[in-house]
Amino acid sequence: MLKVGLTGGIGCGKSTAVRRFRELGVPVIEADLIAREVVAIGQPALDEIVALFGSHALQDDGALNRTWLRQTVFSDPSRLQQLEAILHPRIRTEILNRIAACTHSAYVIVDVPLLFEKDYTQLFQRILVIDCLPVQQRTRVQIRDGSEDAVIESIMQSQIGREARLQQADDVLSNTSSITDFYEKIDNLNFEYAKFSDA
């Protein structure tokens, strides 16, 4: 089975691509969903976060206070590293477990937004980058989230640069035109990946 890591900058269309691959019957594993699961109430990672950051890291209902934690770690790189040391080994292990469970498919897609930044590349045989123009990224995120320019810019700056992403890609899906065009490219790539896994 072919293991494909999917990534791309904010606003490039990763969610749209994931939705289309699912419509085509491809199993998709999402690192962001796993990241939420590993810090759910009762999980060891949540206990470690509270031990490290204190009770402010929890909401009144005992769930993770994501807003407080996000503000805390993004203003202090050392705290961000501490948080990631708790999360990423668990996320990586769970990704591998879920890949192993996908036994009846020609290939599997794993959506990892920080694939390059957190060194997930060795888990995959192909790296698929969803790409668009930076001006399109900013416009799409503004429309989607209503985010301010400064917030969008800071997120884009925290991610690996577009050129570096493209240089490390095995495959690139350009999402610069219509949704119809984008879906057609995904459908064609689905056909190629299915052949690849038979080779």
CA distance 70 to 172: 30
Indicate whether this model's pTM tops 0.75. yes
Do the annotations mark residue 93 as ligand-binding?
no
Q: Does 161 show up as a binding residue in the annotation?
A: no
CATH architecture of 1-27+106-199: 3-Layer(aba) Sandwich (3.40)
Q: Quote the pLDDT of residue 198.
A: 58
pLDDT along the chain (199 residues), means of 10: 93 93 96 95 96 94 91 84 93 96 93 91 96 86 76 75 92 94 97 79
Amino acid letter, 197 = S
Assign 3-class secondary structure to the chain.
CEEEEEEECCCCCHHHHHHHHHHCCCCEEEHHHHHHHCCCCCCHHHHHHHHHHCHHHECCCCCECHHHHHHHHHCCHHHHHHHHHHHHHHHHHHHHHHHHHCCCCCEEEEECCCCCCCCCHHHCCEEEEEECCHHHHHHHHHHHHCCCHHHHHHHHHHCCCHHHHHHCCCEEEECCCCHHHHHHHHHHHHHHHHHHHHC
Does 54 appear as a known binding residue?
no
Q: For 182-197, write each residue's pLDDT tens digit.
A: 999 999 999 999 987 6
- 12 marked as part of a ligand binding site: yes
pLDDT for 146: 74
Domain boundaries, the chain: 1-27+106-199, 32-101
The whole-number pLDDT of residue 197 equals 63
Q: Is 15 annotated as a binding residue?
A: yes
Tell me if 13 is assigned to a ligand binding site: yes
- Identify the pLDDT of residue 37: 96
